[in-house]
Amino acid sequence: MRLVWKLLKENISKPQLIGFFFANLIGMCIILLAIQFYSDMNPLLTGKDNLFKEDYFTITKKVGMLSGLTSRNTGFSPQEIEDLKEQDFIQDVGIYTPSQFNVFTGFNSQDAGVVFSTEMFFESVPDKFIDVRSDEWNFSPTDNTIPIILPKNYLDLYNFGFAEASSMPKISEGLAGMVNLDVTIYAKNGQRREFRGRIVAFTNRINTILVPESFMLWANQKFGNADISFKPARLIVEVGNIVDPTLVTYFKDKGYEISGENTNASRMSFFLKVIVSIVALVGVIICILSFFVLVLSIYLLLEKNMNKLRTLRLIGYTRSFVSRPYILLSVGLNAIILVFSVVVVFIGRSVYMDAVKNIYSVGELKFPVITLVTGILVFAILSVLNIFIIKTKIK
């Protein structure tokens, strides 16, 4: 075997083999790095502990010029709500129920020297859509206290906007919960009733002044006009798969507007898939080209040694024995390329994950099983093709 190898390697072109080695190494590294990068980044977008933890949207219909000048109800019909519920990426749909009466809220503290009163509004959503919990979040018609949940950004606007500009004292969440508000409801028929309002929590999810749904249904029936043709102007939806690319397309086609920034997740996931696909495709093309370089090199080598190969076959050497040096050469090069590629992937992974950890908390990294399996699969495919071509060429 050693003498046969010395005889056949005389015509081996080292520059061709070196060119194949580096071309295939680059292609393999690109493929494996693309797969590993996607495997590491995708959980940050789609996992339970993802970058986009909020999976609730508030959707409305676009307000046109004509609809803004008329009082025509442009809310969501029952058919549209049912269509939303049927979408695969929607888990649940809730309705914003607005107050159908006038609300005035005031605060009167003679000791603190603070007196104010303003007209405002109430809305309610089903309790399961609220991201805060409070034992005081309940209402009974026999109780004269209305629990209220305010958006956290309302408090931030006061503390860091109005209070700073007016040299007013800042208010913490705890202090705000100790304040009793005077709430006066004026019915459409002139009826009036006074309540006490109490801020029980602040929400980061819903941007409105919330009261319990039980209170809203009772108050609308007692003080409102009980409009049976009421169509909700706003809906809150729970999204099951926030990175589903059809999510944004669906809302855009329907003309719905989405509040919040969470729609960036589906766009980012889509572009991540596109970029990784393009990069992986480039790696595949380079691997294919490098494979043809190796095949061409082996063909040329076989052609140069054809007389020697025929002589070896005539004196009794089997085809397997004669082709074995070329098979070992090609498979050996592919194996070395696989090892180098895996090393490059581990180094590259440590570099980009260190950068990610600086801006986001990442859990323990999993062993790159998919990447290794892909590398072994590519190695096996290239080796089998090389063996087939060599044995086909040597008769």
Identify the DSSP state of 9: G
DSSP helix/strand/coil, 231: coil
Q: Are 284 and 325 contained in the same domain?
A: yes
Q: Are 61 and 84 contained in the same domain?
A: yes
Q: Are 141 and 198 contained in the same domain?
A: yes
d(CA 357, CA 353): 6
Q: Are 115 and 132 contained in the same domain?
A: yes
Looking at the 3D structure of the chain, how many domains does it have? 3
pLDDT tens profile 216-229 = 989 888 888 765 56
Model confidence band, residue 52 (pLDDT cutoffs 50, 70, 90): very low
Q: Are 285 and 236 contained in the same domain?
A: no
Q: Are 255 and 300 contained in the same domain?
A: no
pLDDT tens profile 115-153 = 567 888 899 999 888 888 888 898 888 888 999 999 888
Token reading at 351: 């570099």
Can you give the length of the chain in residues? Answer: 395
* % residues pLDDT > 70 (the chain): 73
Q: Are 248 and 330 contained in the same domain?
A: no
User: Integer distance in angstroms from the first to the last C-alpha of the chain?
Assistant: 19
Q: Are 189 and 224 contained in the same domain?
A: yes
Give me the chain's average pLDDT, please.
Answer: 77
Least reliable range by pLDDT among 177-181, 196-200, 241-245: 241-245
Token reading at 245: 């690319």
Q: Are 307 and 381 contained in the same domain?
A: yes
Q: Would the pLDDT of 261 be above 50?
A: no
195 or 166: whose pLDDT is higher?
195
Of 229, 245, 279, the last residue of a domain is: 229
Q: Are 40 and 115 contained in the same domain?
A: no
Q: Are 41 and 86 contained in the same domain?
A: no
Identify the DSSP state of 205: S
Q: Are 388 and 321 contained in the same domain?
A: yes
Of 240, 261, 282, the last residue of a domain is: 261
Find the CATH number of the domain harbouring 75: 3.30.70
pLDDT tens profile 284-294 = 777 677 667 66
321 or 349: whose pLDDT is higher?
349
Least reliable range by pLDDT among 87-101, 193-207, 340-354, 361-375: 361-375
Domain coverage including residue 80: 53-94+232-261
Of 261, 276, 311, the last residue of a domain is: 261
User: How much is the average pLDDT of 180-200?
Assistant: 86
Q: Would the pLDDT of 54 be above 90?
A: no
